[in-house]
């Protein structure tokens, strides 16, 4: 019986129909079917058709992370699908308000579609298919366009949107990536800040380093939630009844860090939330 990752790898290597050499992070042989002794440090492996470079613990951790993400996506997709099924069943009952049920069903389908889009987009970012940083782009015009697009949604949520900063300031991102970051941060504020709050999106510079800051004076978050805001699918307690995908802030962090920047969140209950995206000086 094969009981651990090392035994699994060795069993797979021994049974492989091609030449295989598995190396750890220090280029030492972990397993081989071409007569190389375990522990031997290697340079180039010319004859092996398959070469894996990486430690077994990292492989196991990656597999665990991937499995966890797949499980989380499955769980998140079940929620709108379960609600959709209930709505369809209710539509068959006598006296059902069909137009209202159809409208609710449409919202559930839209939510599932948004979740799928976010998962695919995050996957593109992680596999490097989506180029994040391509030159530098003036950010304020894009910020103003996003706020205009969110005006109706913000008005419905009773959240005021404000843009500020220098129109000449550039961020090291493609225009589409700036739009993705701002849209997700504004959507987060509109969804969670609460009625009567103001969300300000500012583009400034600090010691020649450009900053994109989205802040609100709304409900805020607890210290425990603050530490986990950028985790995939994580929602603070007050956010669990809303219709977000739970991936928006994770996407923001991935885009900003891929461009060499950092993301920090500050806030407290009743004192709003501030998210600072800091980029390297141009």
Query: 173: domain CATH number?
Result: 3.30.565.10
* Domain of residue 187, residue span: 137-278
Same domain, 181 and 274: yes
Residue 273 domain flag:
yes
The pTM for the full model equals: 0.59
What DSSP line would sit under 170-228, residue for residue? Answer: EESS-HHHHHHHHHHHHHHHHHHS-TTEEEEEEEEEETTEEEEEEEE-SS---HHHHTT
CB-CB neighbours of 105 under 10 Å? 19
Same domain, 29 and 47: yes
Distance from C-alpha of 113 to C-alpha of 119, rounded to nearest angstrom: 10
Same domain, 163 and 241: yes
Radius of gyration of the chain (CA): 24
Residue 59 domain flag:
no
Same domain, 94 and 165: no
Specify the pLDDT at position 185.
95
Same domain, 142 and 44: no
Same domain, 144 and 274: yes
Specify the pLDDT at position 19.
59
Residue 46 domain flag:
yes
Specify the pLDDT at position 227.
77
Specify the pLDDT at position 240.
42
Same domain, 198 and 245: yes
Distance from C-alpha of 205 to C-alpha of 166, rounded to nearest angstrom: 9
Residue 271 domain flag:
yes
Instruction: State the pairing for strand pair 50-53/20-23.
Output: parallel
| Close Cβ partners of 243 (under 8 Å, ≥ 6 residues apart) | 107, 111, 191
- pLDDT per residue of the chain (282 residues) written in tens, 0 to 9: 444 556 666 666 666 555 566 766 566 677 777 666 776 665 544 444 434 444 444 444 445 445 545 555 565 567 677 778 888 888 888 988 988 888 888 877 877 776 777 666 666 666 665 566 667 889 999 999 999 999 999 999 999 999 999 999 999 988 888 988 999 999 999 988 999 999 999 999 988 899 999 999 998 888 888 878 888 666 554 444 445 556 778 888 888 888 889 999 999 999 999 999 999 886
Specify the pLDDT at position 52.
45
Same domain, 29 and 160: no
Among the candidates 77, 99, 127, a domain finishes at 127
Q: Per the structure, how many domains does the chain have?
A: 3
pLDDT tens profile 21-41: 676 656 667 777 766 677 666
CA count, 13 A, side-chain hemisphere, 14: 6
Same domain, 81 and 106: yes
Same domain, 245 and 267: yes
pLDDT tens profile 91-106: 888 988 988 888 888 8
Residue 63 domain flag:
no
Q: Are 245 and 111 in contact (CB under 8 A)?
A: yes
Same domain, 163 and 117: no
């Amino acid at each position: 019986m094969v009981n651990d990752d090392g035994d699994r790898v060795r069993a797979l290597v021994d049974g492989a129909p091609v030449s295989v050499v598995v190396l750890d992070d220090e280029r030492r042989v972990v397993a081989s079917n071409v007569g190389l002794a375990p522990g031997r440090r290697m340079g180039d492996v010319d004859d092996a058709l398959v070469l894996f470079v990486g430690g077994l613990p990292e492989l196991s951790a990656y597999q665990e992370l991937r499995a966890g993400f797949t499980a989380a996506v499955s769980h998140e997709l079940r929620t709108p699908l379960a609600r959709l099924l209930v709505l369809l069943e209710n539509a068959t009952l006598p006296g059902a308000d069909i137009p209202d049920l159809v409208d609710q069903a449409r919202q559930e389908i839209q939510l599932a579609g948004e979740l799928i889009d976010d998962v695919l987009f995050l996957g593109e970012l992680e596999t490097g298919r989506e180029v994040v940083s391509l030159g530098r782009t003036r950010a304020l015009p894009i910020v103003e366009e996003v706020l205009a697009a969110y005006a109706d949604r913000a008005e419905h949520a009773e959240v005021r949107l404000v843009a500020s900063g220098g129109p000449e300031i550039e961020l090291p991102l493609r225009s589409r990536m700036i739009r993705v970051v701002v849209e997700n941060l504004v959507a987060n504020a509109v969804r969670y800040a609460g009625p009567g709050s103001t969300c300000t999106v500012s583009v400034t510079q600090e010691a020649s380093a450009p900053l994109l800051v989205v802040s609100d004076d709304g409900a805020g978050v607890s210290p425990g939630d603050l530490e986990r805001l950028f985790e995939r699918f994580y929602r603070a307690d007050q956010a669990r009844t809303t219709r977000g995908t739970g991936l928006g802030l994770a996407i923001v962090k991935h885009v900003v860090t891929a461009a060499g920047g950092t993301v920090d969140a500050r806030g407290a209950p009743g004192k709003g939330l501030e998210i600072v995206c800091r980029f390297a000086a141009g």
